[in-house]
């Protein structure tokens, strides 16, 4: 790397750091009057495009999360060749790193659920992580629907889904709150009653 390109890389990194600082101030701290220069925004958007071209999707997701750009998180996941891997990566970061802003973490999990739901049937997804998102977002009715769907698909010939449904049920029982577990059971019973 020559001196000029090293200098440009340093400037880009400083620009990214400043951009993240401003976005966090706007989104997390709700500070008013902060302006982001359109030229800075342009540099950041070019950085995302470069990450996509270089298959650096984890880096793009990381910068997008740090800068509170949920639109870019989703874009990076959907442009990657391995959507399930990127969903899993983003889920892990949301759980372990994005803890200071619960509202933003919930927004990430909502978007992950939307991507999971839009891609169902098009991949072998980690249903446990889907249920974890549903738990954190407090939507037990969606968990009941997922379990019911897995059981019904096993009756249609995909027997492995039956085992997945049982494993999820055991995980919910072992790891989630009693109130969430109870609501999942109530929704399953209600759905079971509706199908009779």
- The residue written with tokens 């400083």 in the block is 14
pLDDT band at 28 (very low <50, low <70, confident <90, very high): confident
pLDDT for res 134: 92
Q: What is the pTM of this model?
A: 0.81
How many angstroms separate the Cα of 171 from the Cα of each of 142, 155, 168? 16, 22, 5
pLDDT for res 1: 58
Between residues 134 and 101, which one has the greater pLDDT?
Answer: 134
Domain spans of the chain, in order of start: 127-196
DSSP letter string over 128-159?
Answer: HHHHHHHHHTT-HHHHHHHHHHHHHHHHTT-T
pLDDT tens string 173-194: 898 889 999 999 999 988 766 6
- pLDDT over threshold 70, residue 11: yes
């Amino acid at each position: 790397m020559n001196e000029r390109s090293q200098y440009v890389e340093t400037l880009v990194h400083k620009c990214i750091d400043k951009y993240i600082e401003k976005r966090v101030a706007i989104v997390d701290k709700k500070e008013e009057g902060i302006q982001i220069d359109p030229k800075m925004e342009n540099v950041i958007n070019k950085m995302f495009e470069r990450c996509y071209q270089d298959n650096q999707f984890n880096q793009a997701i990381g910068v997008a999360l740090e800068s509170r750009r949920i639109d870019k998180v989703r874009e990076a996941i959907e442009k990657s060749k391995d959507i399930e891997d990127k969903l899993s990566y983003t889920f892990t970061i949301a759980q372990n790193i994005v803890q200071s802003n619960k509202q933003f973490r919930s927004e990430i999990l909502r978007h992950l659920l939307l991507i999971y739901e839009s891609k169902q049937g098009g991949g072998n997804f980690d249903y446990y992580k889907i249920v974890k998102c549903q738990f954190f977002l407090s939507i037990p009715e969606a968990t009941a629907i997922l379990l019911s769907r897995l059981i019904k698909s096993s009756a249609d010939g995909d027997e492995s889904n039956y085992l997945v449904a049982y494993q999820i049920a055991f995980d919910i029982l072992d790891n989630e709150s009693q109130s969430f577990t109870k609501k999942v059971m109530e929704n399953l019973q209600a759905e079971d009653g509706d199908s009779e």
